[in-house]
Structure 1
Amino acid sequence: MKLKIEGDKGGSDVVEASSEDIGHYTDMALDLWPKSKAEELYESFRDIMASKRDKILFYRLGSEFVSFIHLSIRVDYVEGSESSPTGYIEGVYVKPPHRRKGYSAKLVKVGEQWLRKKGCKQIGSDIHLDNHVSYDFHIGMGFTEASRLIAFIKDIEG
């Protein structure tokens, strides 16, 4: 289903994911999360499609899907948030030849509209510390850095 961006006079090419879009999602998600397995992403897509707290939106050029965003509604604590529920960008991806053309910004805008209708007043996200492209994207979208986090893990011997 094609979605309208509030205030966008030219319409949009943002479409809500449907069950037929699993291939488009999986192809792009494998680029975004290369350590994932296709089977895991297929299962994840099915879970997302069944959830009322998750949404996947695509940006489409003609018949080509060039970008996606996975949004969720979190009711647990989100770093830096002052309200609950809080929207969250679980993942956003644009195919390399289509970057820096504003497609992800349109996805975020439509996603914010959905989140606002679901009672969210804020939207959060996270990135790896060395992901400078994603950092620049978030700053450009109006996000402010809430904190920096380094996670540790250790195997328990025995």
Structure 2
Amino acid sequence: MIQYRMLKKDDMQIEEYHRMRHTLWPRHEERELYDEMLKILENIPFYKNELSWTVFAAVREDGSLGGFIEITVYPELHFCSTKPVAFIEGWYVDEDLRRRGVGKGLVETAKKWALENKCTEIASDVELHNQVSQLAHQALGFIKSHKGSTCIYYKREI
């Protein structure tokens, strides 16, 4: 049975987290992804004007990681009607765990955390070519807000 928990900087599984980040974003330099990961685990804003970072992992029965979701909180986003807004920065599930509810479990965990942090909307973006992620967002109740030059932006109420 998969369990979901927040990752912290002293977790023993940060190399697994790094592996999954590099699988999700293979065009990025490994060192860049690793440096970002350390900032995320220490909740150090570094990207835009985010207020905080949190990452939750899907933990397999053997204790290894099988997925993650990175969540930020922004003071506001122009395409959302409430503030602050939770935002999914990264969402990944290992191939062998897909279509088994693990992605949904990660999003549900993120939604619960977002509510605890006074957010009533959660948003995300998906690269234009990533049809699988677009379908996953839609299946979980996200609605398309708008299309940018490289991404489609989604949002939903919590």
Shorter-chain TM-score bucket reads 0.7 to 0.9
Q: Could you state the TM-score of these two structures normalised by the residue count of structure 2? A: 0.83
In structure 2, the residue matched to 1:105 is 104
Structure 1 segments of 4+ aligned residues over 2 angstroms from their partners? none
Q: Percent identity, please.
A: 25
For 1:77 and 1:148, the matched residues in 2 are separated by 15
Preserved contact between residue 22 and residue 42 of structure 1 (Cα < 8 Å): no
Quick one: which of 4, 13, 18 aligns to 1:14? 4
Q: Deviations over 1:97-130 (max 9, x none)?
A: 1111001111111111111111111000001112
Shift of 1:76: 3.9
Matched, 1:75 2:75: yes
For 1:127 and 1:90, the matched residues in 2 are separated by 10
Gaps of 5+ in 2: 44-50, 151-158
Report the secondary structure of 1:35's partner residue.
Answer: coil
In structure 2, the residue matched to 1:116 is 115
Give the aligned residue type for 2:134.
Y
Tell me the C-alpha RMSD between the 2 structures.
Answer: 1.6
Matched, 1:35 2:41: no
For 1:12 and 1:129, the matched residues in 2 are separated by 30
Alignment of 1:1-158 (within 5 A): 13-19=3-9, 20=11, 21-51=13-43, 53-62=52-61, 63-78=63-78, 80-150=79-149
Matched length? 140
For 2:57 and 2:119, the matched residues in 1 are separated by 21
Gaps of 5+ in 1: 1-10, 152-158
Give the aligned residue type for 1:38.
E
Give the aligned residue type for 1:138.
H
